[in-house]
Structure 1
Amino acid sequence: MTPVSRRLILLLALTCGTAVGNVYFPQAITPTIATGLHLEPGTATQVVTAVQFGYAAGIFLLVPLGDRLPHRPLLTTLLTLTGIALLAACAAPSLGPLIGASALIGVTTVVAPLIGPMAAGLVAADRRGAVGGTLLSGSIGGMLLSRALGGALSEWLGWRAPYLLAAALTLTIAACLAHALPTTTPPSTQPYPHLLTQPLRLLRTEPLLRRSCLYQAAVFAGFCAVWTSAAPLLTGPTYHLGAHAVGALALVNAATMLATPHAGRLVDRHGPDAVNRVCLLTVLAAAAILTLATLGGPTGMTALVVGTLALDIGMQSGMVANQVRIYSLRPGIRARLNTAYMTCSYLGGSLGSWTGTQAHTHLGWPGVCALTTLLTTLALTHHLTTRTPPRAPTTSPA
Structure 2
Amino acid sequence: MSPVTPVLSRPLTLLLSVACGIAVANIYFPQAISPLIADDLGVTDASAALVVTCAQLGYAAGIFLLVPLGDRLRHRGLVTTLLALTCAGLVLAGTATALPVLAVASVLVGLTTVVPQILIPMAAGLADPARRGAVTGTLLAGLIGGILLARTFSGTLGAWFDWRAPYLVAAALVLVLTVALAVALPPTTPSTDRRYPALLAASWHLLRTEPLLRRSCQYQVLVFAAFSAAWTALALLVTGPRYGLGTEAVGVLALVGAASMFVTPFAGRRTDGSGPDAVSLWCVLGALAAALLLLTGLLGGPVGLVGLGAGMLLLDVATQSGQVANQARIFALRPEARARLNTAYMTCAFLGGSAGSWLGVRAYAAFGWTGVCALAALLSGLALLRHALRGRSEPASNPRATSPAGHPDVPAGR
Same fold (TM over 0.5): yes
Q: Which runs of 4+ in 1 moved over 6 A?
A: none
What's the counterpart of residue 406 of structure 2?
none
Distance 1:223 1:349 in 2: 8
CA shift digits 1:233-265 (9 cap, x unpaired): 001111010111111110121112222223222
What's the counterpart of residue 241 of structure 1?
245
What's the counterpart of residue 315 of structure 1?
319
Asked if 1:123 is matched to 2:127, the reply is yes
Distance 2:218 2:63 in 1: 17
What's the counterpart of residue 54 of structure 1?
58
Asked if 1:86 is matched to 2:116, the reply is no
Matching residue within 72, 76, 90 for 2:76: 72
Moved more, 195-204 or 316-325: 316-325
Matching residue within 215, 220, 232 for 1:216: 220
Matches within 5 A, 1:132-211: 132-211=136-215
What's the counterpart of residue 331 of structure 1?
335
CA 1:229/1:64 → structure 2, altered by over 3 Å: closer, same or farther? same
Moved more, 334-343 or 251-260: 251-260
Asked if 1:389 is matched to 2:372, the reply is no
CA 1:126/1:390 → structure 2, altered by over 3 Å: closer, same or farther? farther
Asked if 1:371 is matched to 2:372, the reply is no
Asked if 1:272 is matched to 2:262, the reply is no
Matching residue within 14, 17, 20 for 2:21: 17
1:121 is matched by which residue type in structure 2? G
Matching residue within 85, 104, 111 for 1:107: 111
Distance 1:223 1:324 in 2: 21
Distance 2:311 2:133 in 1: 29
Is the CA contact (8 Å cut-off) linking 2:8 and 2:128 kept in structure 1? Answer: no
2:263 aligned counterpart, secondary structure = helix
2:283 is matched by which residue type in structure 1? C
What's the counterpart of residue 345 of structure 2?
341
1:239 aligned counterpart, secondary structure = coil
Any stretches of 5+ residues in structure 1 without a counterpart? 393-398
Distance 2:19 2:332 in 1: 26
Deviation at 1:191, TM superposition (A): 0.2
Moved more, 118-127 or 79-88: 118-127
CA 1:160/1:230 → structure 2, altered by over 3 Å: closer, same or farther? same
Is the CA contact (8 Å cut-off) linking 1:28 and 1:150 kept in structure 2? Answer: yes
CA shift digits 1:242-293 (9 cap, x unpaired): 1111111101211122222232222223222222111111111111100111
Distance 2:334 2:189 in 1: 20
Distance 1:365 1:192 in 2: 45
What's the counterpart of residue 287 of structure 2?
283
Is the CA contact (8 Å cut-off) linking 1:117 and 1:334 kept in structure 2? Answer: no
Matching residue within 346, 361, 364 for 1:357: 361
Is the CA contact (8 Å cut-off) linking 1:29 and 1:154 kept in structure 2? Answer: yes
Is the CA contact (8 Å cut-off) linking 1:112 and 1:139 kept in structure 2? Answer: yes
Distance 2:358 2:112 in 1: 21
Asked if 1:96 is matched to 2:110, the reply is no
Distance 1:208 1:262 in 2: 23
> How many residue pairs were aligned?
392
Is the CA contact (8 Å cut-off) linking 1:113 and 1:338 kept in structure 2? Answer: no
Deviation at 1:116, TM superposition (A): 2.2
Is the CA contact (8 Å cut-off) linking 2:8 and 2:123 kept in structure 1? Answer: no
Asked if 1:27 is matched to 2:31, the reply is yes
Deviation at 1:220, TM superposition (A): 0.5
What's the counterpart of residue 10 of structure 2?
6
Moved more, 191-200 or 109-118: 109-118
RMSD between aligned alpha carbons? 1.5
* Superposition TM-score, scaled by structure 1 size: 0.95
Moved more, 319-328 or 54-63: 319-328
CA shift digits 1:174-208 (9 cap, x unpaired): 11111111111111110000111111111000111
Moved more, 382-391 or 16-25: 382-391
2:81 is matched by which residue type in structure 1? T
Distance 2:319 2:140 in 1: 13
What's the counterpart of residue 395 of structure 1?
none
Q: Percent identity?
A: 58
1:245 aligned counterpart, secondary structure = helix
Distance 2:272 2:220 in 1: 19
Distance 2:231 2:48 in 1: 14
Deviation at 1:114, TM superposition (A): 1.2
Distance 1:343 1:43 in 2: 24
Is the CA contact (8 Å cut-off) linking 1:88 and 1:101 kept in structure 2? Answer: yes
Distance 1:158 1:138 in 2: 27
2:66 aligned counterpart, secondary structure = helix
